[in-house]
Amino acid sequence: MTEAISKYWPLKRSGKRNRRKRALVFSGIAVALFLLLIASGFLIGQEGLRVNFDGAFSAPSLAHPFGTDWLGRDMFIRTVKGLALSFWVGLLAAFISAVIALLLSLLLLVNKTLDSLVTGLIDLFLAVPHIVSLILISFMLGGGLYGVVIAVALTHWPRLARLLRAEIMQIKNTEYIAVSRNLGKSWFWIAKHHILPHLIPQLAIGFILMFPHAILHEASITFLGFGLSSEQPAIGIILSEAMGYLSSGMWWLAVFPGLMLLLMVAVFDNLGRNLRKVFDPLKGQKQ
């Protein structure tokens, strides 16, 4: 029995190492795609976005891989610009949302009354459908870039806050926290030196996993007309404009931008799951 266990143990450790190596490789590929996307958004010029009625409604070709729209604009360049814009909007919104989740979860250390208010707020936001909250907040703020970022940020923090709060509750009951309290350390000192180092991996993974949801919801409310303005090359605007031409057979106006959006979201989601396998192998194996 002991010999069987001793033979199995190296294989199990080797399997874990291989999973982590694969996760690191996929994470590296995802980061490379992100950098390529960001660089493309800055390096590609505006020539392809100029109006050219002679080249309107051109099907996909070598000159225009994604075809052209009703104004003769290159759909590949519009799609890349739209993805770059969605990237920055999602990044900013997810960052603000992660900060909100962290600050509200740390209120558990202050007193039980504030923690109860935060818990009720989490339940309230989770009870309302995401898209309804997004539309209401964005509409109240007048839409546009500011309205979309704030709307996405204010509706994506509850799940991460609930996770961080559970982590804090476990850490708060440990012996070294009790020793620090007995030595007269404040909760601010304890949060800075004992709790935050434990929360950083969960916070980073939660931020990355929140990012694809932020991108999709930004595109959704922009598609419905409550998000970014029509002057901006957003994916939601491109898809919304393409709806009027699908029945005429102009399928490339919506298919390629939609597929690229789904691809970017899938890559970000895969990055978050692979990083979870690296930083938290036990939870990564359950997925």
Which domain CATH number covers 163?
1.10.3720.10
pTM of the model: 0.79
What per-residue confidence (pLDDT) applies to 101?
92
Give residue-wise pLDDT tens across range 8-51.
445 445 555 666 676 667 667 777 776 776 676 666 666 667 77
Q: Is position 50 within any domain? A: no
Q: Is position 69 within any domain? A: no
The answer to whether the beta carbons of residues 106 and 162 sit under 8 Å apart is no
Q: Provide DSSP, 12-71.
A: HHHHHHHHHHHHHHHHHHHHHHHHHHHHHHHHS-SGGGS--GGGTTPPS-SS-TT-B-TT
Q: Is position 15 within any domain? A: no
Give residue-wise pLDDT tens across range 126-175.
888 878 888 888 888 887 888 889 998 998 899 899 988 888 888 887 78
Q: Is position 39 within any domain? A: no
The answer to whether the beta carbons of residues 103 and 161 sit under 8 Å apart is no
Q: Provide the residue range defining the domain that includes 264.
A: 76-286
The number of CA neighbours under 13 Å toward the Cβ of 132 is 6
Residue in the structure block whose two tokens are 């610009």: 81
Q: What total of structural domains would you count in the chain?
A: 1
Residue in the structure block whose two tokens are 């709806």: 243
